[in-house]
Chains A and B, each alone.
Chain A
């Protein structure tokens, strides 16, 4: 890495600070004039050229053959030693409160939740419309405009492209929500399962209820809200269970919200 020809392994300007010079001012002035000449007169360019050359020469003389520095108060070329710090004693300050390494659990929970949600959704398709493909095709309607206009028959058949797309969307969303569960469930006041398994789905379903027409018009045409809610609860419960079984996260219940969120004060003490 370090090259013996480099400057000494310390901070430049330990021995002095650069001396003032008018070089840069003249150089800048000259360069500007040379450009200004393009819209004024060739004479301006000549003046500019003279200024620029003078400036660059003055500049070079400040740097070469050796940089001209002004001397400093004596002793200034030695860095200040670091203060005497005491070894770690108190632990009044913390960086990582809340859960320990639960991210993997979250991803796993997301996957598991995703599966159970899919089971409910596919069940709805089978029972109500006699097709396992319908819910899958409908999901891809977030992204594919033609799904919004397609007939029920088309939507009830297997469509490889839509299938892949729906799986992708489902996977990404479930993984992220799973991650979210791992970090939020420990913060819930009590009974994380109820919060994650019911409250979350209620909120989410409500949000979608208000916006489904724009978010996914295809789904809007067929959706059955009880079933939809059911599938969300299935996700929430499965995911929540997987996550909460992975760690003893209820160590924190009983602490005030600030602390559970880890924002107010270190959690584990």
Chain B
């Protein structure tokens, strides 16, 4: 069912304009993947600068660096950006770049849908940011949304949120959400239908398994958010009453719908991170992943359990105690499969000969930091304790440990690890180490004290605080960590830019790795593999490198 044409060589255009055009019309999964990652990194810097502004405001009590509304816009845009415009596209980007290569395919199942998804994400993000200009309806000075990233009703109703800023939030996220949905359909289909000969499900790299589960989670969770956003839009533009207490509408409905999306969302964010770690740790420990089958089972388990815990974000809204109890129990349960993963990674390192190159450093950092975030999550799941901690800085500490200490560390590791594959050049080790240690230090300086200010009673989302409450020191330390972290990120970005221009040439397989993406040249040709590989075990390249002792005997 195809017609063949000679290659158009769009990439090989000479002028800058031609090259840009080549990127704009591409449907090549690798280029789309790179565009996703680069766009997400840009949004990461923007979101980080918004965070830095917040921290500057909170450096001392009763500061007036930002207005109250300015601060509220900052955390709304920061949270929204980080979750929807950094986390989601980051995973879509890596998934795009890696999944076809890892399963030995020439492209995604629906290449054009893939490009469509990318543009929707990017344009949706830009639409959201356009609110800084058009938020008040093109008439005023503009204003970003200021309702928080979960936009609780009725604060989002026309009565309490005038102008158009909230509509921008809805529309921007909805449009980029359509992009994520396209990507999810693509992932599931690609993984089920495009595997090379011999790549059975239980031989897929764990990263691919995670993307499969993520695909399903997106398909389950995101449409519910879209439905809720449509309802809100109807409320705001047509006078419907879904979330209107004046007309007996319920504020709880939004929360249920949002968190039914929102909780799976956080696992949507972290599972690809788990995937990166599951690829990097074995290669640098020189050992096969410990307990592949149980890892797969745990992933699927996390996927299922995560659909049944959403009300742990609603422990203080006055649900009946039995419901709270139920959700507390299911939330605790999720630590079992997550724990299995942590232990299996450590067991993979155990007895290995670990090379601590930058990707592995980041993964080790991930292991150390994510456990802290996970354990504070467990504390939050204990309802009585949460009545004290919910909506305090303790929660902010928790989720930055899992999101930054987990997700971002894994992403930075993944960027370093796959950079040679994508560009053909290595990133600099020395700069890599600098960025790692700076980020690790800055990260802990910023987010560890948040737990203390939270336990001392500091609520989140406050633009300022009274001097007499014992929070000054912690906030000062937190803010002081930001420049350190910023420097670390800057070193990392600089390393990327510099290395892509004049890093040492990498070769096809610089890390001596085992999955199929390393079986082709770096960067891979447009068609990925000159001949589609045939897979003999979960580590096809191990089998090629050690034909005398192949893995397939042990599966």
Q: Do chains A and B touch in the complex (CB under 8 A)?
A: yes
Residues of chain A whose beta carbon lies under 8 Å from any beta carbon of chain B? 7, 10-25, 27-29, 31-32, 35-36, 38-41, 59, 62-63, 66-73, 75-76, 78-86, 88-90, 92-95, 258, 263-265
Q: Does A19 lie within 8 Å of B5, measured CB to CB?
A: yes
**Given the complex of chains A and B, what is the CA–CA distance between A11 and B190 in angstroms?**
11
For B115, B124, B167, which residue has the most chain A Cβ atoms within 10 angstroms?
B115
Chain A CB within 8 A of B233 CB:
yes
**Given the complex of chains A and B, what is the CA–CA distance between A39 and B144 in angstroms?**
13
Chain A CB within 8 A of B320 CB:
no
Assuming the contacts A39-B167, A78-B531, A79-B532, asked whether A27 and B3 have C-beta atoms less than 8 A apart, the reply is no
**Complex interface: chain B residues within 8 A of A92 (CB):** 549
From the candidates A22, A23, A80, name the one contacting B531 in the complex (CB within 8 A).
A80
From the candidates B25, B109, B351, name the one contacting A12 in the complex (CB within 8 A).
B109
Chain A CB within 8 A of B138 CB:
yes
B109-158 with Cβ < 8 A to chain A:
109, 111-116, 118-120, 123-124, 127, 130, 134, 137-138
Assuming the contacts A67-B1, A79-B532, A95-B554, asked whether A39 and B119 have C-beta atoms less than 8 A apart, the reply is no
Chain A CB within 8 A of B510 CB:
no
Residues of chain B whose beta carbon lies under 8 Å from any beta carbon of chain A? 1-8, 10, 22, 24-28, 104-107, 109, 111-116, 118-120, 123-124, 127, 130, 134, 137-138, 164, 167-168, 171, 174-175, 178-179, 193-198, 233, 237, 347, 350-351, 526-527, 529-536, 543-544, 547-550, 552-554
From the candidates A10, A24, A40, A67, name the one contacting B119 in the complex (CB within 8 A).
A24
**Given the complex of chains A and B, what is the CA–CA distance between A16 and B28 in angstroms?**
12
From the candidates A20, A84, A88, A258, name the one contacting B10 in the complex (CB within 8 A).
A20
Assuming the contacts A63-B112, A69-B2, A264-B350, asked whether A32 and B544 have C-beta atoms less than 8 A apart, the reply is no
Q: Does B105 lie within 8 Å of A11, measured CB to CB?
A: yes
Q: Does A69 lie within 8 Å of B4, measured CB to CB?
A: yes
Q: Does B171 lie within 8 Å of A22, measured CB to CB?
A: no
Assuming the contacts A13-B106, A35-B174, asked whether A83 and B8 have C-beta atoms less than 8 A apart, the reply is no
**Complex interface: chain B residues within 8 A of A94 (CB):** 554
Chain B residue with the shortest CB-CB distance to A79 = B532
**Complex interface: chain A residues within 8 A of B547 (CB):** 83-86
Assuming the contacts A19-B8, A67-B3, A72-B527, asked whether A82 and B112 have C-beta atoms less than 8 A apart, the reply is no
Q: Does A11 lie within 8 Å of B2, measured CB to CB?
A: no
Chain A residue with the shortest CB-CB distance to B536 = A82
Q: Does B112 lie within 8 Å of A38, measured CB to CB?
A: no
**Complex interface: chain B residues within 8 A of A67 (CB):** 1-3
Q: Does B109 lie within 8 Å of A83, measured CB to CB?
A: no
Q: Does A36 lie within 8 Å of B531, measured CB to CB?
A: no
Q: Does B350 lie within 8 Å of A263, measured CB to CB?
A: yes
Assuming the contacts A80-B533, A84-B547, asked whether A10 and B197 have C-beta atoms less than 8 A apart, the reply is yes
For A23, A32, A94, which residue has the most chain B Cβ atoms within 10 angstroms?
A32
Q: Does A32 lie within 8 Å of B28, measured CB to CB?
A: no
A125 to chain B, nearest CB (A): 29
**Given the complex of chains A and B, what is the CA–CA distance between A80 and B502 in angstroms?**
34
Q: Does A16 lie within 8 Å of B531, measured CB to CB?
A: no
**Complex interface: chain A residues within 8 A of B535 (CB):** 82
**Complex interface: chain A residues within 8 A of B3 (CB):** 66-69
Assuming the contacts A11-B196, A40-B134, A81-B534, asked whether A24 and B527 have C-beta atoms less than 8 A apart, the reply is no
Q: Does A32 lie within 8 Å of B124, measured CB to CB?
A: yes
**Complex interface: chain A residues within 8 A of B120 (CB):** 28, 31-32
Assuming the contacts A25-B115, A39-B171, asked whether A82 and B534 have C-beta atoms less than 8 A apart, the reply is yes
**Given the complex of chains A and B, what is the CA–CA distance between A177 and B447 in angstroms?**
37
Assuming the contacts A17-B28, A23-B112, A32-B175, asked whether A68 and B2 have C-beta atoms less than 8 A apart, the reply is yes
**Given the complex of chains A and B, what is the CA–CA distance between A269 and B218 in angstroms?**
45
Q: Does A71 lie within 8 Å of B4, measured CB to CB?
A: yes
Chain A residue with the shortest CB-CB distance to B9 = A70
List of 9 A-B pairs having minimum Cβ-Cβ separation, nearest first:
A28-B119, A13-B106, A24-B115, A24-B116, A32-B123, A18-B111, A80-B531, A22-B25, A85-B550
**Given the complex of chains A and B, what is the CA–CA distance between A82 and B534 in angstroms?**
5
**Given the complex of chains A and B, what is the CA–CA distance between A25 and B3 in angstroms?**
22
**Complex interface: chain B residues within 8 A of A21 (CB):** 25, 27, 112, 115
From the candidates B112, B196, B531, name the one contacting A59 in the complex (CB within 8 A).
B112
Q: Does A29 lie within 8 Å of B544, measured CB to CB?
A: no
Assuming the contacts A10-B197, A28-B123, A90-B549, asked whether A62 and B112 have C-beta atoms less than 8 A apart, the reply is yes
**Complex interface: chain A residues within 8 A of B179 (CB):** 28
Q: Does A265 lie within 8 Å of B351, measured CB to CB?
A: yes
Q: Does B25 lie within 8 Å of A85, measured CB to CB?
A: no
Q: Does A17 lie within 8 Å of B553, measured CB to CB?
A: no
Q: Does B548 lie within 8 Å of A83, measured CB to CB?
A: no
A-B contact pairs, 7 of them (CB 8 A): A18-B112, A20-B8, A21-B115, A39-B164, A76-B530, A82-B198, A89-B549
B32 to chain A, nearest CB (A): 10
**Complex interface: chain A residues within 8 A of B27 (CB):** 18-21, 24
**Given the complex of chains A and B, what is the CA–CA distance between A63 and B3 in angstroms?**
10
Q: Does B197 lie within 8 Å of A79, measured CB to CB?
A: yes
**Complex interface: chain B residues within 8 A of A41 (CB):** 138
**Complex interface: chain A residues within 8 A of B111 (CB):** 18
**Complex interface: chain A residues within 8 A of B1 (CB):** 7, 66-67
For B111, B120, B534, which residue has the most chain A Cβ atoms within 10 angstroms?
B111
Q: Does B532 lie within 8 Å of A14, measured CB to CB?
A: yes
Assuming the contacts A25-B25, A38-B237, A83-B544, asked whether A31 and B178 have C-beta atoms less than 8 A apart, the reply is yes
**Given the complex of chains A and B, what is the CA–CA distance between A83 and B7 in angstroms?**
30
A159 to chain B, nearest CB (A): 21
**Complex interface: chain A residues within 8 A of B137 (CB):** 39
A239 to chain B, nearest CB (A): 22
Q: Does B527 lie within 8 Å of A17, measured CB to CB?
A: yes
A24 to chain B, nearest CB (A): 4
**Complex interface: chain A residues within 8 A of B10 (CB):** 20
Chain B residue with the shortest CB-CB distance to A90 = B549
**Complex interface: chain A residues within 8 A of B8 (CB):** 19-20, 70
**Given the complex of chains A and B, what is the CA–CA distance between A12 and B171 in angstroms?**
36
**Complex interface: chain B residues within 8 A of A264 (CB):** 350-351
For A20, A31, A71, A76, which residue has the most chain B Cβ atoms within 10 angstroms?
A20
**Given the complex of chains A and B, what is the CA–CA distance between A88 and B533 in angstroms?**
22
**Given the complex of chains A and B, what is the CA–CA distance between A6 and B5 in angstroms?**
24
Other than A15-B4, A36-B127, A79-B533, give 20 A-B pairs with Cβ distance below 8 A: A7-B1, A14-B106, A20-B8, A21-B115, A25-B24, A28-B116, A35-B174, A35-B175, A39-B134, A40-B138, A66-B2, A68-B2, A70-B526, A71-B5, A75-B530, A76-B530, A82-B198, A82-B534, A88-B553, A95-B554
Chain B residue with the shortest CB-CB distance to A22 = B25
**Given the complex of chains A and B, what is the CA–CA distance between A251 and B56 in angstroms?**
64
**Complex interface: chain A residues within 8 A of B6 (CB):** 70-71
**Given the complex of chains A and B, what is the CA–CA distance between A89 and B552 in angstroms?**
12
B461 to chain A, nearest CB (A): 25
**Complex interface: chain A residues within 8 A of B113 (CB):** 24
**Given the complex of chains A and B, what is the CA–CA distance between A173 and B527 in angstroms?**
56
Q: Does A11 lie within 8 Å of B197, measured CB to CB?
A: yes
Q: Does B543 lie within 8 Å of A83, measured CB to CB?
A: yes
**Complex interface: chain A residues within 8 A of B5 (CB):** 16, 19, 68-71
Chain B residue with the shortest CB-CB distance to A82 = B534
B267 to chain A, nearest CB (A): 26
